[in-house]
Amino acid sequence: MRQVYLDYSATTPVKEEVVKEMIPYFTEKFGNPSTLYASGLEAKAGLDKARHQVAELINAEDREIFFTSCGTEADNWVIEGVADAYKDKGKHIITTKIEHHAILHTCEYLEKHGYEVTYLDVDSEGFVDPLQRILPAFFLYYILQFYNTLIIPPPLYAA
């Protein structure tokens, strides 16, 4: 039976030209990029090149691009990082009830450490209800612009 994979928002096959570009880093240039010897420097050059390409793609600075090992790490890093950086300004996070567990579990963790979290409801199509009360004192409004499982763009309404 022929199978059709429809979850390309979660993962996709890697393009042939990308595989070709990556193979040297899996086979010859596999050094640790944080080291100072030749093979490490070679790997670091590849990493820097990739960072530059990604930055150019989204019109950012190289120094603004960080690679993480997975989505969960990125979520943890940004939510906990912002929470800590702004803890003197406010301790209120607003998110939705339909976020990925990596978001929800991080928010639950922060709740245990003195943060208040508002979990907004969404309607049957995943849209955030604009009439929900949003407390003014929040520092992080984290709603996935494109919720990758449902493939919907929840609009952010101006308060």
Ligand X SMILES: Cc1ncc(COP(=O)(O)O)c(C=O)c1O
Q: Which H or E run contains 23?
A: helix 16-27
Size of the site for ligand X (CB under 6 A): 10
Rule CB under 6 A: say whether 29 interacts with ligand X: no
Nearer to ligand X, 22 or 41 (CB): 22
SS3 68: coil
Among 75, 120, 140, 142, binds ligand X (CB under 6 A): 75
70 scored as a contact of ligand X (CB under 6 A): yes
Among residues 103 and 110, whose Cβ is nearest to ligand X?
Answer: 103
In the structure encoding, which two tokens stand for residue 31, read together?
């050094």
- Contact between 153 and ligand X (CB under 6 A)? no
Cβ nearer to ligand X, comparing 50 with 102 = 102
Phi, psi of 67 (to 5 degrees): -100, 130
Judged by CB under 6 A, which of 44, 46, 54, 100 binds ligand X? 100
The length of the chain, given as a count of residues: 159
Please give the span between the terminal C-alpha atoms of the chain, in angstroms, as a whole number.
Answer: 51
Site for ligand X in 125-144 (CB under 6 A): 144
Q: Which is nearer to ligand X, 35 or 68 (CB)?
A: 68
Q: Which stretch binds ligand X (CB under 6 A): 25-33, 59-67, 69-77, 122-130?
A: 69-77
- Asked if residue 122 lies in contact with residue 73, where contact means CB atoms within 8 angstroms, the answer is no
Cβ-based neighbours of 118, under 8 Å, separated by 6 or more: 92, 93, 94, 95, 134, 135, 138
Question: Do the beta carbons of residue 146 and residue 100 sit within 8 Å?
Answer: no
Query: With binding defined as CB under 6 A, does residue 110 bind ligand X?
Result: no
By CB under 6 A, residue 10 contacts ligand X: yes
Distances, alpha carbon 98 to alpha carbons 50, 101, 141, in Å? 32, 9, 14
Which residues contribute to the site for ligand X (CB under 6 A)? 10, 70-72, 75, 100, 102-103, 144, 148
